[in-house]
Amino acid sequence: MEVGAPDYLAGERQTAEFDVESMKVTWAGSRHALEVSDRMARLVASDPVFRKDNRVMLSRKELFKNTLRKAAHAWKRIVELRLTEEEASRVRFFVDEPAFTDLHWGMFVPAIKGQGTEEQQQKWLPLAYKMQIIGCYAQTELGHGSNVQGLETTATFDPKTDEFIIHSPTLTSSKWWPGGLGKVSTHAVAYARLIVDGQEHGVHGFIVQLRSLDDHMPLPGITVGDIGMKFGSGAYNSMDNGVLRFDNVRIPRDQMLMRVLQVTREGKVIQSDVPRQLIYGTMVFVRQTIVADASCALSRAVCIATRYSAVRRQFGSQNGGPETQVIDYKTQQSRLFPLLASAYAFRFVSEWLKSLYTDVTEKLQRGEFSTLPEAHACTAGLKSITTSATADAIEECRKLCGGHGYLANSGLPELFAVYVPACTYEGDNTVLLLQVARFLVKTVSQLGSGKVPVGTTAYMGRARHLIQCKSNVQSAEDWLNPQVVVEAFEARSLRMSVACAENLAKFPNPEEGFAQLAADLVEAAAAHCQLIVVTKFFEKLQQDIPGKGVKKQLQILSSVYALYILHKHLGDFLSTGSITPKQGALANDQLRSLYSKIRPNAVALVDAFNYTDHYLSSVLGRYDGNVYPTLYEEAWKDPLNDSVVPDGYQEYIRPLLKQQIRNARL
Ligand SMILES: CCCCCCCCCCCCCC(=O)SCCNC(=O)CCNC(=O)[C@H](O)C(C)(C)COP(=O)(O)OP(=O)(O)OC[C@H]1O[C@@H](n2cnc3c(N)ncnc32)[C@H](O)[C@@H]1OP(=O)(O)O
Ligand SMILES: Cc1cc2nc3c(=O)[nH]c(=O)nc-3n(C[C@H](O)[C@H](O)[C@H](O)COP(=O)(O)OP(=O)(O)OC[C@H]3O[C@@H](n4cnc5c(N)ncnc54)[C@H](O)[C@@H]3O)c2cc1C
């Protein structure tokens, strides 16, 4: 905010009962992270190349070229200022425009790191780090995305030349969707069925050069292009999602990523001690980062809706006084505050997931693979529930802003359009929950075998208690006790998983049973994942959290998150007998009183996200709350208002009006 400019939300900020600066540190993860983030946000906001207010007005070609310009400029600044990787990734984040760089840094580099041998990493990573090559992740095909084993592209070893021949045998084997592929990438990690000596060895990753490093023309045998416009204006159309076909393209043998499986010069196939599933490792990595992205997108939408709800007034004027701020309506609070609590919940669960991922990666390096299934289930499940909730929440925030939320300059329509594919990419959310369900059913089936469940399924080890326990909540106050809440969530989750396992046992063919019960299995999986989010929020509160009133606010938010989920899924809690209808009603009473506690802190709680006006790009979410004059000013900037009488008047409006006059005379 400019120094001396009026702050229309100052009154809201004065009622805060906690230290906002300390909350900023907690949200960012550390003082260092906050400092880096803050510095990079300002660097981007102050650079005119990164302006984005005109994005939705640009044609696809202009938008795309502008994205290239921004990406090149960002890289130039990163090199000039010698930014660290942490700083560089914050710059890309605040530039806030989907681009080929997301896939280069987010998937191409991690795929080589995770699936390449030491030598392969040494050869390719330095080139990628300096952006002397630009890469994408080419897995999905026209015919198959979820079913990775169903991919049709082939990689056939030719022992005569020591090469692989990469080929697209059918139309449906065309690579379809990879970001950065359409117009930019020089290289791809392409996934194909490995064939050696006529034998198939499953799907593996291959580094394939696509375009000349001299003139960017596709290499012989490569057909490549963009797949076309996507949902919304601006939005994800800055990305060149691409189509790619291979016509017997030859690559050297050492361009197969060989950490999991090696093919020797003689054509021998050697399985290393690394599990096959590591071929899916890049997806595990990215799913984990997508959970953190969910908290960013959600907090951004909530920040806009909260500030605007405090500015906007409707009805309730008494004796000519001001009308009621819409944030004071209980219905507005019951729709908005759970989303605010969810933003914090997703932030902390993503922090935890990152540490789990780091831990599992270290173990994998040491040759310990036992925690991989849990890492897969957690990343898949949390990716699924956080992205679904966030996509719904962005749309809810748009509605919370009434008519003005539908204006592009509210920032919400484009945020929704950019965000919503997160429910599909990196694994369709339903398909991912089915993976979690498989893991849960397996865990339940092993309960009697002496194998003690660990990690996020440790609670299943108390199955005997959880299957019959009764919640002892007697008052609304009791619902503020984390242990009471967690036990209700554990009982609900365990009972849903056990019910699924029992029903599955009735089918002679387990796969047929799994297919028939899929809808119930998905609900059991979601219940388990919600339990994880609730538990990790409460566990966060066990840590030392400095700053006046900060912990208190987080306690309130954690209870709001948990009781909101309980209220939303009351049917599950009641049908499993985890709580009684009376206890459900008490939870709702508690939720209502918690909303009143959030109310004076709401604006400060979104200020703690520390978003610049540039990043928010929302007239409604401006830090200073100066909404109406800005909306009015912005309207006149629309190209339609360049002339008072519109183009087309002479051809289409005037003749119409004249004709009406003639008709009227008749
Ligand atoms: C800095 C960062 C920035 C980030 C920027 C990013 C920008 C984002 C931009 C957008 C970018 C978008 C980019 C994109 O979109 S990239 C494309 C993303 N594509 C997908 O996500 C495809 C989704 N499909 C799959 O993952 C698999 O095919 C599934 C899993 C569905 C089935 O598979 P399959 O038919 O083979 O499996 P199975 O069911 O027989 O299971 C077999 C066994 O394997 C285990 N298993 C399965 N999966 C994993 C795993 N992952 N780790 C460890 N283990 C795993 C499984 O538990 C089972 O174990 P067990 O029961 O036998 O013990
Ligand atoms: C914006 C965007 C960017 C992308 N970027 C990349 C990229 O960079 N690289 C890349 O390789 N891919 C990329 N993808 C592809 C993406 O990973 C796939 O679209 C995704 O994995 C879903 O696969 P699908 O499209 O085959 O969906 P489908 O599997 O065809 O899903 C269609 C419907 O079928 C249901 N369904 C499918 N299987 C089952 C099942 N077993 N049981 C029950 N229901 C089922 C799904 O729930 C869904 O409702 C991108 C996609 C998008 C939208």
Residue 661 reports pLDDT greater than 70: no
Answer yes or no: is the C-beta of 180 below 6 A from any ligand 2 atom: no
Rounded to whole angstroms, how far apart are CA atoms 510 and 490? 26
Answer yes or no: is the C-beta of 424 below 6 A from any ligand 2 atom: yes
Closest to 294 measured CA to CA, from 336, 346, 349, 348: 346
Place of tokens 């990079």: 40
Instruction: Give tens-digit pLDDT for 534-576.
Output: 999 999 999 999 999 999 999 999 999 999 999 999 999 999 9
Q: Give the 3-state secondary structure percentages of the chain, helix then strand then coil, rounded to 5.
A: 60, 10, 30
Mean pLDDT of the residues in the chain: 96
Share of the chain above pLDDT 90, in %: 93
Closest to 563 measured CA to CA, from 480, 440, 661, 450: 480
Report the pLDDT value the prediction gives residue 448, as an integer from 0 to 100: 85
Instruction: Give tens-digit pLDDT for 74-105.
Output: 999 999 999 999 999 999 999 999 999 999 99
Which helix (H) or strand (E) element contains residue 135?
Answer: strand 135-138
Residue 350 reports pLDDT greater than 90: yes
Rounded to whole angstroms, how far apart are CA atoms 327 and 337? 10
Atom of ligand 2 nearest to the CA of 145: 26
CA of 146 to the centre of ligand 1 (A): 8
C-alpha torsion 38→43→45→51, nearest 10: -150
Q: Which two tokens stand for residue 435?
A: 């993976």
With cut-offs at 50, 70 and 90, classify the pLDDT of residue 463. very high
- Tell me which of 395, 426, 487, 490 is the catalytic residue: 426
Ligand nearest to the CA of 375: 1
Query: What average pLDDT does range 288-308 have in this prediction?
Result: 98
Residue 616 reports pLDDT greater than 60: yes
Whether 426 is catalytic: yes
Mutational pocket test of ligand 1: of 105, 109, 283, 383, the residue with most ligand atoms within 8 Å of the beta carbon: 283
Q: Whose CA is nearest to atom 20 of ligand 1?
A: 427
Query: What average pLDDT does range 366-386 have in this prediction?
Result: 94
Identify the residue with better confidence: 7 or 194: 194
CA of 428 to the centre of ligand 2 (A): 5
Superfamily of domain 134-272: Butyryl-CoA Dehydrogenase, subunit A, domain 2 (2.40.110.10)
Contacts of 231 (CB under 8 A, 6+ apart): 417, 420, 421
Does ipTM exceed 0.90? Answer: yes
Q: Please tell me whether residue 132 adopts helix, strand or coil conformation.
A: coil
CA of 460 to the centre of ligand 1 (A): 25
Ligand nearest to the CA of 438: 1
Rounded to whole angstroms, how far apart are CA atoms 422 and 432? 12
Query: What average pLDDT does range 451-455 have in this prediction?
Result: 92
Contacts of 356 (CB under 8 A, 6+ apart): 375, 378
With cut-offs at 50, 70 and 90, classify the pLDDT of residue 518. very high
Residue 666 reports pLDDT greater than 60: no
Query: What average pLDDT does range 428-447 have in this prediction?
Result: 97
Fold of 282-450+474-607: Butyryl-CoA Dehydrogenase, subunit A; domain 3 (1.20.140)
What's the distance, Cα to Cα, between the start and end of the chain in Å? 62
Residues of the chain with CATH 1.10.540.10: 25-97
| Angle, CA 605 vertex, CA 323 and CA 607 arms, to 5° | 90
Query: What average pLDDT does range 4-23 have in this prediction?
Result: 93
Closest to 179 measured CA to CA, from 113, 247, 238, 132: 238
Q: Is residue 411 a contact partner of residue 616, using CB atoms and an 8 Å limit?
A: yes
Atom of ligand 2 nearest to the CA of 430: 47
CA of 458 to the centre of ligand 1 (A): 24
Ligand nearest to the CA of 296: 1
Residues of the chain with CATH 2.40.110.10: 134-272
Answer yes or no: is the C-beta of 227 below 6 A from any ligand 2 atom: no
- CATH class of domain segment(s) 25-97: mainly alpha
Q: Whose CA is nearest to atom 33 of ligand 2?
A: 428
Closest to 340 measured CA to CA, from 306, 311, 375, 379: 306
Answer yes or no: is the C-beta of 132 below 6 A from any ligand 2 atom: no
With cut-offs at 50, 70 and 90, classify the pLDDT of residue 273. confident
Answer yes or no: is the C-beta of 191 below 6 A from any ligand 2 atom: no
Q: Whose CA is nearest to atom 17 of ligand 2?
A: 425
Atom of ligand 2 nearest to the CA of 140: 11
Q: Which two tokens stand for residue 415?
A: 């945020």
Distance from the Cα of residue 194 to its chain's centroid: 32
189 burial (CB, 10 Å; 0-12 / 13-18 / 19+) is: buried
Atom of ligand 2 nearest to the CA of 230: 1
Instruction: Give tens-digit pLDDT for 213-272.
Output: 999 999 999 999 999 999 988 889 999 999 999 999 999 999 999 999 999 999 999 998
Answer yes or no: is the C-beta of 280 below 6 A from any ligand 1 atom: yes
Mutational pocket test of ligand 2: of 425, 436, 523, the residue with most ligand atoms within 8 Å of the beta carbon: 425
CA of 113 to the centre of ligand 1 (A): 17
Residues of the chain with CATH 1.20.140.10: 282-450+474-607
CA of 230 to the centre of ligand 2 (A): 15
Answer yes or no: is the C-beta of 427 below 6 A from any ligand 1 atom: yes
* Angle between helical axes of 412-419 and 372-400 (0-180°, round to 10): 160
